[in-house]
Amino acid sequence: MDSVGKLLVAALRHPEASRNRALKVNSFTATPNQIVAEFERQTGGQKWDVEHVPRDEIVQGEKNAYEEKSPLATAYTLRRIWADGGTLYDKRGNSDIRFEGKEESLESQVRKAIEKQKASS
């Protein structure tokens, strides 16, 4: 979330690269398994108990949620997109808006998430 504003400002500073196009930008790219591995590493190295939900179950939950007009429908859709790798782009627009090398890392984001959780406990 910290990078959203920074990426927006970078896009506005480079209208020649961002005008009339969708930019695919991010702070870092990581798979769900990489994210879990980083949390495991930063919380002492013990393996976490991870429940893998079959894709068909996510798709069915998504369908049901939309039919029921549930506010959880979007969450199901996002889980499906992430599980399918729909946000793992071949090329990012970071360099187009001169944002390369300014991104946060998976490691720093996990550290912040852990610190936030500890503070609320």
Does one domain contain both 24 and 56? no
pLDDT of residue 68: 98
Q: How many Cβ atoms from other residues are within 10 Å of residue 71's Cβ? A: 8
Closest CA to 82 of 108, 60, 102, 53: 53
Is there a domain that residue 4 lies in?
A: yes
Give the domain extent around 60.
31-87
Reported as a single tens digit per residue, the pLDDT across 55-85 is: 999 999 999 999 999 999 999 999 999 888 8
Environment class of 79 (CB within 10 Å of its CB; exposed 0-12, middle 13-18, buried 19+): middle
Task: Tell me: do 81 and 98 sit in the same domain.
Answer: no
Residue 104: pLDDT band (50, 70, 90) is confident
In this structure, what token pair is assigned to residue 49?
């108990």
Return the pLDDT at 102. 79
**Phi then psi dihedrals of residue 39, to 5 deg:** -60, -45
Q: Is residue 114 part of a domain?
A: no
Would residue 110 count as lying in a domain? no
pLDDT for the residue numbered 89: 82
Tally of structural domains, the chain: 2
